[in-house]
Amino acid sequence: MTSQTESNSTFTADGIRTATSADAGTIASIYNAYIAHSIATFEVDPVSASEMEDRIRVVQNRYPWLVTVKNNIVIGYAYATTWKARAAYDRTVETTIYIHPDHLHQGVGLPLYQELLRQLVIQGCHAAIGGIALPNPGSVQLHERLGFEKVAHFKEVGYKFGQWVDVGYWEIIL
């Protein structure tokens, strides 16, 4: 699979493009809102811009990390990571998407996720898996609209905000 560190010059200032280190602060801010107010992530401590920059760099050594930009501001991001470390899983990835809370339900997520999946196909990936903390009807709807199918449901595997949280997994064969 190829490296995703180079920018995709076909996208304009507003649209979808490869994330850069300069985006790390804004990406961390978006993610930290989910950490503080949502069960969508099981992280509980805020992530610094430098930690997010490190995460972006590690992911982009192998897979895409994309952002959606509106009025020159990052309003969402999506990326893929290794599903499992064993060689037999090499063409399967786990996907992640977060949209700034002020831009939910505005049509931002679908094209961003579609572009991520398109790039994964080009890289030779075979399957993508999305994990969703439940309930999360918006994320379920997005994944199913893209053709993901629910393949697993784990009860009470996460604990956040004083409650047990279920996690479902959706899969798409690319």
Of the candidates 62, 71, 60, 63, the one whose C-alpha atom is nearest the C-alpha of residue 20 is 60
What is 15-173's CATH number, 3.30.70.1150, 3.40.630.30, 3.40.50.2000, 3.40.50.2300?
A: 3.40.630.30
Q: In angstroms, how far is CA 39 from the centroid of its own chain?
A: 15
pLDDT per residue as tens digits for the range 121-168: 999 999 999 999 999 999 999 999 999 999 999 999 999 999 999 999
User: Does residue 11 register a pLDDT over 80?
Assistant: no
* Secondary structure E strands in 15-142: 15-18, 65-70, 73-82, 92-99, 127-134
pTM: 0.90
pLDDT per residue as tens digits for the range 34-68: 999 999 999 999 999 999 999 999 999 999 999 99
Angle ∠(77,37,171) on CA atoms, nearest 5: 45
List the chain domain ranges: 15-173
**Using CA atoms, how far apart are residues 140 and 123, in angstroms rounded to an integer?**
25
Confidence of residue 14 (pLDDT cuts 50, 70, 90): confident
pLDDT per residue as tens digits for the range 60-104: 999 999 999 999 999 999 999 999 999 999 999 999 999 999 999
